[in-house]
Amino acid sequence: MGLKDKLHKLKLKYKGKKMAPAFNAIHTFLYLPNETTHSGSHVRGADDLKRTMNTVIMALLPCLIFGMFNAGYQHHLAAGEIEAVANGFFSAGFWSIDNLVVGLWKVLPLVVISYGVGLGVEFLFAVIKGHEVEEGYLVTGMLVPLIVPIDTPLWMLAVAVIFGVVIGKEVFGGTGMNILNPALTIRAFLFFAYPTWMSGDKVWVHGAVERASEIAGGAQLDAISGETVLGSLAQGKEISYSVADMFLGFIPGSVGETSAVLILLGGLFLIFTKIGSWRIMASAVLGALAMGLIFNGVVNAGWISEGSKFYSLMSTEFWHHLIIGGFAFGVVFMATDPVTASQTNKGKWIYGFLIGFISILIRVFNPAYPEGVMLAILLMNVFAPTIDHYVVQGNIKKRMKRLKLKTA
């Protein structure tokens, strides 16, 4: 008897019992469901939730693999063990096995904890509440390791995942019912509960936190600094990275957020497969460029002095905001979440534009947290239903007006 037959036998054995959702979830994850509908109207299509989630994961895999190499590269670079790469993607120094070993050692545990704890909570709620386990966490479990600093303690990540899945998802009814993006809810919990582990110049490069602690304890060691581009700009420092470095991703940052070119390719793949909304992506970029142009105009007009704490980020080239920080990753993989985003076409334009606009606004005026995209997306998640409501009401009023003119 094969594995499929054994699982199906267990599924039939526990049908109608308390543990049925757990066995159903394992069987559905590995194989196609055996159940088919026989009555009622329904949509026939080749895609389902599992295929949709798997498509997003395929778009994320290049970012994950690159993030592993970059984690090791940034560690060895900051420790003075290697020199900066000269040929980008074609440099053997970046794709070294030593870099991959460090990346695997640090990133894989984050992935394991994210999936293990998150799916454990999902299974628990499915058994208690008696509903099926949906595949929604397949993407969330991959997103979480990609948006946290490399040295995030595993226990801390586990606590955040429990909070994010329970408060950000299950209390609303599970997959398809949540109003906040679960991955960003987890990231927000980490940021507000453990701020020293989520920001600063020591959390983005493996080993920097431990080295800083040893120096504070009196040990004579060279410090490893891994300040992000945004962190440097927020403090008025000059950045040492080229536009090519920032676009390709050879910079410190969260595991999967550094390579704008891979995120762009992932976004194009999601648009091609009709999983991600091009309207949200395009409007978010327009919103960010608009806010960046406004700040550049303020600086060029001389309305803000060079010594101001906001000057550095306000004077940054408006289009540079697209390739630094987590803006690109957030817009492509989280702002387009079909559950928490606006559903109407006009609403998507408004929703995306405001995410881009507010992201740069927060990035400039909050030096303690020079990012912004996480808070902007969560804020617009809350207002997405309101945006759709007014769009729909506006359409109804227009049609009623046309109807009155015809009947007059």
* Residues of the chain above pLDDT 70, percent: 81
Non-local (6+) Cβ contacts of 354 within 8 A are 287, 376, 380, 383
pLDDT at 403 over 60: yes
Following DSSP, what letter does each residue of 26-54 receive, concatenated? HHHHHS--S----SS-----S--HHHHHH
Q: What is the mean pLDDT of residues 93-121?
A: 93
Range ranked top by mean pLDDT from 8-17, 50-59, 76-85, 294-303: 294-303
Per-residue confidence (pLDDT) for residue 89, from 0 to 100 = 80
Nearest to 177 by CA among 339, 57, 404: 339
Q: Is the pLDDT of residue 10 over 60?
A: no
pLDDT digits (tens, 9 = 90+) for 22-59: 556 555 655 555 556 666 556 666 666 777 888 999 99
Per-residue pLDDT band for 69 (boundaries 50, 70, 90) equals: very high
Helical (H) or strand (E) element with 290: helix 278-300
Q: What is the pLDDT of residue 347?
A: 96
pLDDT tens string 332-391: 999 999 889 999 999 999 999 999 999 999 999 886 676 889 999 999 999 999 999 999
Q: Are 283 and 332 in contact (CB under 8 A)?
A: no
CA distances from 55 to 47, 90, 169, 182 (A): 10, 27, 21, 18
Average pLDDT score over the chain: 84
| H-helix segments, 35-153 | 49-78, 97-129, 137-146
Instruction: Look at residue 38 in the predicted model and tell me its pLDDT.
Output: 60
Q: Stretch 223-242: mean pLDDT, rounded?
A: 75
pLDDT at 81 over 50: yes
Q: Are 367 and 235 in contact (CB under 8 A)?
A: yes
Asked if residues 134 and 23 have their Cβ atoms less than 8 Å apart, the reply is no
Q: Are 61 and 145 in contact (CB under 8 A)?
A: no
Q: For the CA atoms of 137, 141, 147, 149, what is the dihedral angle to 10 degrees?
A: 150
Statement: residue 87 has pLDDT above 80: no
Asked if 294 contacts 339 with a C-beta cutoff of 8 angstroms, the reply is: no
Distance CA 358, CA 388 (A): 19
Collapsing DSSP to helix, strand or coil, 209 comes out as helix
Q: Determine the pLDDT at residue 230.
A: 83
- Tell me if 99 sits within 8 A of 205, measured CB to CB: no
Q: Tell me what pLDDT residue 270 has.
A: 96
pLDDT in tens, 176-187: 778 899 999 999
- How much is the pTM? 0.87
pLDDT value of position 221: 47
Nearest CA to 23 among 13, 36, 32?
13
Q: For the residues 133-140, what does the mean pLDDT come to? A: 79
User: In this predicted model, what pLDDT tens digit does every residue of 162-173 receive, in sequence order?
Assistant: 999 998 888 887
Cα–Cα nearest to 145, from 120, 168, 113, 111? 111
Structure tokens at 62: 């290049």
Per cent of the chain over pLDDT 90 is 49
